[in-house]
Amino acid sequence: MSAVIETQDLRKVYKGISKAQDVVALDSLTLQVNEGEIFGYLGPNGSGKTTTIKLLLSLIFPNSGTMKIMGNPNITAPEVRKNIGYLPEGAYYPDFLRGEEILRYYGSLYGMKGPSLAKRIDEVLEIVGMSRARKRLIRGYSKGMRQRIGLAQALLSDPGILILDEPTTGLDPVARKEIRDLLITLRDQGKSLLISSHELLEVELISDRVGILFEGVLQTSGTIDELLTRREFTIKAEEAVPEAIQKTREAGLAPEDAAAGRVVFRVPENMSLYQALDICKAQNMKIVSVAPRRETLEEVFVRVVGSAVKNKEAQRGEN
């Protein structure tokens, strides 16, 4: 599978008044988004996700490193730009225009005009489910409708690459599901999507590959299956009195949740399932269920970021 977006050792420093105030937003970022995949780009606030996107769009410029889009190092070339659709986070669309007028404006920036532009506007409005609201002024749109219009403008040139910054933020559950389904459809049509998001569950549901960024450094990346390798067991038990729960804790099996005599244990890595069951039985608990579970992306994210924070603090301690 060929890469449509590639960065190599990308570094971006935001200059402060003095050198001590410089902020390293990205450090040696080597990233690859492949053709026809959804790449989930994750990271806490200020980790460098939007900086990466701005660099790819030449809204800001790197201090070092290289970028290629569709194999072309000249990422501002018109043929490259025509192949990119971009939805910024929380973008504003002039509210004195109607939905179709704003699309006509953006379409004209691609050099589209006349019947072909009108046809394409009809198509993208249909894709994002906004055909009925096309004549309404944007000031009367809900947040979800504005996001859909934003997505429509990103799709106008029928680009091969879509860069979406927080595409579902602030949307209600139904709208989220619809946008999610739309993104999967676009991927199935062969488009490549780079999605920056805080919505870990959604990213897990739709992404083929994921990268986790923290303080400008790509901590890990891979397919969902590669990242979610940890298998764990949970044990649900009843008739667990507080003293018994305390004893299991002392034995190394801490409860994840406990209420009204019911308790849930997650078997730790250093303990076998049989050992955990024996501890429960020794406290006369009634085992209700034993279930294997896979680590979620949220847990991977918390673990990776937590580990990065610890490493950073350890480095500071050494210095």
**Residues engaged in binding other proteins (CB under 8 A):** 54, 57-61, 76, 78, 81-82, 84, 86, 88, 90-94, 96, 105-106, 108-111, 150, 153, 157, 163
Alpha-carbon span 92 to 27, nearest angstrom: 30
Separation CA 98–CA 146 (nearest Å): 11
For other proteins, the closer CB: 39 or 265: 39
**Of residues 33 and 84, the one with the C-beta less far from other proteins:** 84
Q: In the Cβ-directed half-sphere of 201, how many Cα atoms lie within 13 Å?
A: 4
Here the tokens at position 68 are 């290629």
CB of 256 to other proteins, least distance (A): 42
What φ, ψ does residue 63 adopt, rounded to 5°? -80, -35
SS3 107: helix
**Of 50 and 220, which CB lies nearer to other proteins in the complex structure?**
50
Closest CA to 38 of 148, 151, 159, 162: 162
Report the C-alpha gap between 237 and 68 in whole angstroms. Answer: 55
d(CA 252, CA 271): 8
Least gap, CB of 289 to other proteins (angstroms): 50
- Cα-Cα-Cα-Cα torsion 280, 282, 285, 291, nearest 10 degrees, comes to 30
CB of residue 19 vs other proteins: minimum separation in angstroms? 18
User: Smaller CB distance to other proteins: residue 53 or 253?
Assistant: 53
CB of 55 to other proteins, least distance (A): 10
Q: Encoding tokens for residue 134?
A: 């096309």
How many Cα atoms are found within 13 Å in the side-chain-facing hemisphere of 274?
A: 0
- Closest contact distance (angstroms) between CB of 84 and other proteins is 6
Closer by beta carbon to other proteins, 86 or else 301? 86
Smaller CB distance to other proteins: residue 117 or 276? Answer: 117
Q: Which is nearer to other proteins, 117 or 235 (CB)?
A: 117
Q: How far apart are CA 28 and CA 35, in angstroms?
A: 23
For residue 9, what are the CA distances in angstroms to 6, 26, 29, 52, 120? 10, 9, 5, 12, 38
CB of 76 to other proteins, least distance (A): 8
CB of 104 to other proteins, least distance (A): 8
Copy the structure tokens of residue 3: 């890469």
Q: Is 100 in a helix, a strand, or coil? A: helix
